[in-house]
Structure formats: structure tokens, C-alpha cells
Amino acid sequence: GIQVEQSPPDLILQEGANSTLRCNFSDSVNNLQWFHQNPWGQLINLFYIPSGTKQNGRLSATTVATERYSLLYISSSQTTDSGVYFCAVDLPGAGSYQLTFGKGTKLSVIP
């Protein structure tokens, strides 16, 4: 099956710093999404981004599908950004509805 690798596995930031999280995937994908799991376990969909660049406030994401990677940028980090960030992909083809998740990047933002 498709492999999804996220880096770094852990990241500690001072409040106000910027960061870049990376997601590499081993095959062409139809769908790539970024999620944030907060410290209480809730999963929030951040971006649906199979290609191109999107921005939402302090967060932005870029996917280069031809090179099989995606980047999530967090600027001016806040303590509320803490949690685990997951990248998830699914395979192209009719009826492919199976998201494969990476193991995540655990982000800790300290005041």
C-alpha cells in the first residue's frame, strides 16, 4: 500500500516562531488532507490540498504532487497550535475512499 511519512516526528517551538511540517508519500494520490489533533483528542480538518497552495490565517499548505510531498507552514505559532498534525492521502481511481494517515508530527508550543 501507499506509504506516508511525516517529519519531524516531534517539534518544540517558542511562541511566535515559524515552522514547516513535511509529508512525503510514495505514490500518486487523489486526495491529500492535513489534520490537527488537539491535546483533547479532537481531529480538525485543516486543508484539502491534492495540489497547489492554500492559506487560512497563520496556516498555509503546499502540495507538489509531481514530487510527492506536501508542506504545512505555521507562522507566528501560538500555544493553541500544540497537538499532533497528520497528513492523510487516498489513492486515485474510482471508488477509492480509503484515507491512509502518516504517524503525525507532535508540535509543542511553549510560552
Partner 1 sequence: NAGVTQTPKFQVLKTGQSMTLQCAQDMNHEYMSWYRQDPGMGLRLIHYSVGAGITDQGEVPNGYNVSRSTTEDFPLRLLSAAPSQTSVYFCASSFGTAYGYTFGSGTRLTVV
Instruction: Kindly state whether residue 83 participates in binding partner 1, applying the rule CB under 8 A.
Output: no
How many positions of this chain bind partner 1 (CB under 8 A)? 25
- How many Å apart are CA 105 and CA 73, to the nearest integer? 13
48: contact with partner 1 by CB under 8 A: yes
Specify the stretch interacting with partner 1 by CB under 8 A; choose among 14-22, 54-62, 66-74, 102-110: 102-110
Q: Closest by alpha carbon to 23, among 78, 80, 65?
A: 65
x-marked contacts with partner 1 along 5-44 as a string, rule CB under 8 A: -------------------------xx-x-x-----xxxx
